[in-house]
């Protein structure tokens, strides 16, 4: 994809865990809104699954739906992550679009 649709940031918490924040640029259409010009319903267009990996091991999965706002910000906490570890986040939507983003902890992420 030419445009970056997924952004990851991390933060170390007071208890030593790592919080992973993911911002996804996505319209998250519920299928209930109407296009004001055509008067037709805008079809459902949602992120269905967000998966978090730490060093290629799946650590969390979020199954999302129409109750999630546009441009969702999702976060998870993981323990035992350390500088140099690789974090990957992937997502797919109901149109088959997908994106993924990788970061390495300690690289200013």
In a domain, 68, yes or no: yes
The 18-24 sheet, strands edge to edge: 6-12, 18-24, 73-78
What is the pLDDT at residue 2?
A: 46
- Residue 65: is its pLDDT beyond 50? yes
Q: Which residues of 16-40 are buried (b: 16+ CB within 10 A; e: fewer)?
A: eebebebbbebebbbeeeeeeeeee
In a domain, 14, yes or no: yes
Structural domains counted in the chain: 1
In a domain, 98, yes or no: yes
Residue in this structure with the two tokens 């805008």, named with its chain if needed: 42
User: What phi and psi, each to the nearest 5 degrees, are found at residue 42?
Assistant: -80, 125
- Residue 87: is its pLDDT beyond 70? yes
Summarised one tens digit per residue, pLDDT across range 6-15 is 999 999 999 9
CATH number at residue 37: 2.60.40.10
The whole model's pTM is what? 0.90
- Residue 105: is its pLDDT beyond 80? yes
In a domain, 17, yes or no: yes
How many C-alpha atoms does 95 have within 13 Å on its Cβ side? 11
Tokens of 65: 């739906």
């Amino acid at each position: 994809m030419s445009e970056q649709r997924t952004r990851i940031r991390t933060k170390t918490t007071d208890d030593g865990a790592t919080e992973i924040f993911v911002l996804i640029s996505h319209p998250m259409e519920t299928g209930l809104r109407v296009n004001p010009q055509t008067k037709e319903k805008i079809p459902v267009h949602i992120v269905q699954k967000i998966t978090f990996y730490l060093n290629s091991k799946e650590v969390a999965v979020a199954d999302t739906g129409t109750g999630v706002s546009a441009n969702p910000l999702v976060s998870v906490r993981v323990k035992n992550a350390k500088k140099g570890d690789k974090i990957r986040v992937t997502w797919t939507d109901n149109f088959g679009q997908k994106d993924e983003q990788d970061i390495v902890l300690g690289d200013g992420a």
